Amino acid sequence: MIRIGTGYDVHRLVKGRELVIGGVKIDYHLGLEGHSDADVLTHALIDALLGAAGLGDLGCHFPAGDDSYRNISSLKLLEEVKVMLDARRWKLVNADLVLIAEAPTFSPFAGQICEKLAAVLEVPISCFNVKATTTEGLGFCGRGEGIAAQAVVLIEKVALPGPGGHEAG
């Protein structure tokens, strides 16, 4: 069995915060505002994975009002999502991720981002594709007010160990 999920997230750019994208700290004069580390790309990935597995969304599992998630690394949230997926025997086949921002330039960090995300989900780096685009100066991303991210994932049900990989009964 296979399923597809999509995710989308956006955060406002502000002074006084680190910019973390896909678990990678990027040297930039602005960071993303949010309850956690505001890693917009990892949030979109989490929403896509949860959606594909039929498990709701980021907000229902990690509510912004819960202080235990304040300033938490979004990679920790992704680890928790992996536990949920493992318990239901779902595994990532591939993820196509896109960042939407005028600046900074993300292409130099794409490999590091893929490495970080693949390590957390325990899949080959080749399961990830990260790309970036601008909005040609249009909208909040184009004005440099925020960064958006989209994710599309394909997950598959992993067979149980044993003869034929079928469930008993």
Q: Are 40 and 32 in contact (CB under 8 A)?
A: yes
Nearest-angstrom CA–CA distance, 142 and 158: 41
More confident residue, 3 or 67: 3
Backbone angles phi, psi at 81, to 5 degrees: -65, -40
Beta-carbon contacts of 87 under 8 Å, excluding residues fewer than 6 positions away, are: none
| All domains in the chain, ordered by first residue | 2-158 (3.30.1330.50)
Q: At what angle do helices 40-52 and 110-121 cross, to 10 degrees?
A: 40
Provide the whole-model pTM: 0.93
Tens digit of each residue's pLDDT (9 = 90 or more) over 48-65 = 999 999 999 998 999 888
Helices H / strands E in the chain, number of each: 5, 7
Phi-psi domain of 6 (left: phi exceeds 0; alpha: psi -120 through 50; beta: other) = beta
Tens digit of each residue's pLDDT (9 = 90 or more) over 92-143 = 999 999 999 999 999 999 999 999 999 999 999 999 999 999 999 999 999 9
Q: Residue 167 carries which DSSP code? A: P
Q: Are 92 and 123 in contact (CB under 8 A)?
A: yes
